[in-house]
Amino acid sequence: MSNTYQSFMDRRNEIMKKSVGLDYNKYEYKGIGFDYELLMNDQGYDLEKIIEIQSANMVGNTPLVELKNITKYARKYSKPGFGARIFLKDEAANLSGSFKARRAALSVHQAKKLGYKGVIAATSGNYGAAVAALAAKAGLKCIIVQECFDSRNISQPEILEKARKCEAYGAEVVQLSVGPELFYTFLKLLDETGYFNASLYSPYGIKGIETLGHEIAEEVMNKEGKYPEAVVITNAGGGNLTGTARGLKDAGAVDTKIIAASVRLNGLHMASDTDFNKKSFTTGHTGFGIPFSTYPDRSDVPRSAGRPMRYMDSYVTVNQGSVFFMTETLALLEGMERGPAGNTSLAAAFSLAKTMREDEIIVVQETEYTGAGKHLLPQLSFAKKNGIELLFGNPQEEVPGKNIIFPLNGGLLVHKELVMDDLRKSYLKRYKDTDLTDEDYQFLCDELSIDIDKVKSLL
């Protein structure tokens, strides 16, 4: 067979179907939609079975911690009677050090069950370490494909840190420069090895996170006699939010507000060689969060199981400097040294808590491990070397790619709220000239969590 880029793009669905062990055609409707719930519930894993698999792999049942000192700090800048209690789910306690182990445990279990000899994942983030760790435990081979360098062969310290983590678990790490070769190489490796595609966006990758939502709902209810008013979730590819929200709602927390949070990287293009090293965050930012929310099927499977627009009530952003500020705040006030991804939602939660009543509860849904390349000082030194100015002042004036502005104090840490209808219109724009059936409209209603009149109005 031809090894050209186009030949693999032409065969992508065939390769994907073979590597995930799923026939996605089974779930397709005649029009634009597909049966999402059937896809999610057709894989033979109920909550009890998922908990069993995760528990056997040192995954799940992580601590829920009340951040009393950070709550007190937020109240210093809140009006009387405001300043919600901030809780944090410490997912760094999982095997491999992040919530991604919940996803990897189920994917690796499925790979072994189906008889695959190894697993492959395309990720520069914590998921690679999770897949590598769980594959090692299961006795499977593992390849992690990373988008790592710009054309000058320069890589961010955080990405290199994650590569070292993957290699420590015995994985082969294939490191590439930014650009279309990532997906081409990924497809080529799947085709050549016959390994399982441990995709972040398969049903296994999403259902594994549902236990996290369940734990949050049940633990807050057991401790406080109610479900939390809000859960803040760092949003990138959408699977984190989707799985957590499904778990919360399945556990009974149907009125809990689901708030997506991303680092604001306006103006930086994620596939740009020149922009690649101008950002200080490799995940949890708007460069992934918005495109994957408004077009989830851009992923590495025919139909992504991560559908964040079905579940999010609001979407907020914070700047890079605020996330670094909260990373240090968590260490100095709570004695918890954690990596940047979870601290994105912590920064958002800190700002949101100031707008909520004192008797309300807001939960930060995850933390991640930290290490030499993830610490804020190596990241800030790297930014400075790449011409980024480091300043103290008003974070709202930060210009991604030009400067990083740290708030002078917690009172200046303020989130921005995106307009949900703008996101919905971005999702709908590819259907504006499509002759839609009643079934198509119902699919769009489910996708965007609005009624049919609102869909038609936005179109």
Please report where in the chains the tokens 């697993």 appear, as a residue: 119
Q: How far apart are CA 338 and CA 74, in angstroms?
A: 19
* φ, ψ dihedrals at 302, nearest 5°: -60, -40
| pLDDT, tens digit (0-9, with 9 covering 90-100), for 407-450 | 999 999 999 999 999 999 999 999 999 999 999 999 999 999 99
Across residues 90-107, what is the average pLDDT? Answer: 96
Domains parsed from the chain with CATH numbers: 5-52+98-203 (3.40.50.1100), 55-96+206-417 (3.40.50.1100), 420-458 (no CATH)
Asked if residue 57 lies in contact with residue 107, where contact means CB atoms within 8 angstroms, the answer is no
Report the pLDDT value the prediction gives residue 1, as an integer from 0 to 100.
Answer: 59
Distance from chain centroid for Cα 36: 19
Q: How far apart are CA 246 and CA 420, in angstroms?
A: 20
| DSSP β-bridge partners for residue 233 | 260
| pLDDT, tens digit (0-9, with 9 covering 90-100), for 347-363 | 999 999 999 999 999 99
pLDDT tops 80 at residue 68? yes
Q: Which string of DSSP letters, residue by residue, matches 227-254?
A: --SEEEEE-SSSHHHHHHHHHHHHHT-T
Distance set, CA 266 to CA 142, 280, 310, 407, 423 (Å): 35, 13, 24, 19, 15
Please report where in the chains the tokens 């999010």 appear, as a residue: 312
Which band of pLDDT confidence, cut at 50, 70 and 90, is reported for residue 46? very high
